[in-house]
Amino acid sequence: MDATVYQAAGGAAGMRALAEAWHRRCLADPVAAHPFEHPGHPQHLDRLAAYWGEALGGPDDYTRTMGDHSHVLRMHSGNGEHEELDRRAIACFEGALADAGLADEERLRTTMQRWFRWSIDEMNTHPHDPGAVPEGLPMPRWTWDGPVA
């Protein structure tokens, strides 16, 4: 398969549909809804779709116009450890793949599931101190074979 994961998932439209489906599922889950119960960025879904897209081989829209990986890690840091929330967010993502029409092709589904689990672990690297996140971290990239070093 020559296409990037981003392309195989439908590009920008696929990422937006996935972000919407995941957000909808999280809001419906009593545990996963917690991070979304406070007012967030008004373009949260667009930003999320751009971040996911860039990480999966799409254009650099997120890092070019919205922030770097350090910024994203800081947003997710300082909340302590939250294993149940993580499990629920992963379950919501796996359901969202189906909702967005991305679960039928096995290689795409399993690659995206692996990526999302890896991303959750990445977001949890600084559970207690956002100030510990280094400046200028590059966007982590994910291919069919996993993370790119």
Annotated binding site for heme: 71
SS3 37: coil
Establish how many alpha carbons lie within 13 A of residue 25's alpha carbon, considering only the half-sphere containing its beta carbon.
Answer: 20
Longest Cα pair distance anywhere in the chain, in angstroms? 41
Beta bridge partners of 147: 142
Binding-site annotation: residue ranges: 71
CB 79 within 8 A of CB 34: no
Q: How far apart are CA 128 and CA 55, in angstroms?
A: 25
